[in-house]
Amino acid sequence: MSVAPEIAILAEAALLVPTKPAGTQPAGAQPAGAQPAGTQPAGALTATRAPQVPQVTLGTLARQLRMLAATPERWWGLVQFNQDRSVKIRVEDQPEYEAWLVVLPPGDSGRDCDCDAVTIIAGEATEGAPGSAVLRPGPTRVHGQPHRLRGHGAGYSISLHAQARRARASGASAEPIIH
């Protein structure tokens, strides 16, 4: 099965030039009012802050998903076809977000998904109830709530998903993901 046309469409839509994050400074530069290294005032106390996970917007998350979809060399070797069940495969695990592939075999009843953004890589899928609109390769779909993804058609469906990091309740169980 070839997915070259779908990947070419995604590559056209993706902006492959990385942007400079807001608030970054050139190497060696210090923020305004900062003391040079090693010159803390006498008796000054230093506080250690826990690192904070930057929050990403849905637009940034969708852009990251398009860029990831447009670089199949980063994930194509992870794809697994299982005719008996759907497969979820972790692709990226960043501090701000995580991304994974879902491979749905023909005739699969689907799987629940709580991603923030999804794009179909190959094949076709539907969301929600049977008979819903068919999703095809190319566009990125942004979600606001959990949904059910179902394969559509006679072939495998491969989709790429992303979710922004959120604080998880302690003891929350996560679905096993193939690495």
Question: pTM score, two decimals?
Answer: 0.64
Which comes out higher in pLDDT, residue 19 or 160?
160
Q: How many CA atoms lie within 13 A of 3 on its CB side?
A: 23
Does residue 170 surpass a pLDDT of 60? Answer: no
Angle of helix 4-13 relative to helix 58-69, nearest 10 degrees, comes to 140
d(CA 147, CA 112): 6
- Which tens digits make up the pLDDT trace of 2-33? 454 555 454 454 444 444 444 444 455 455 55
Residue carrying the six token digits 């008796």: 43
- Which tens digits make up the pLDDT trace of 52-73? 656 788 899 999 999 999 999 9
Shortest CA distance to 10 belongs to which of 145, 163, 118?
118
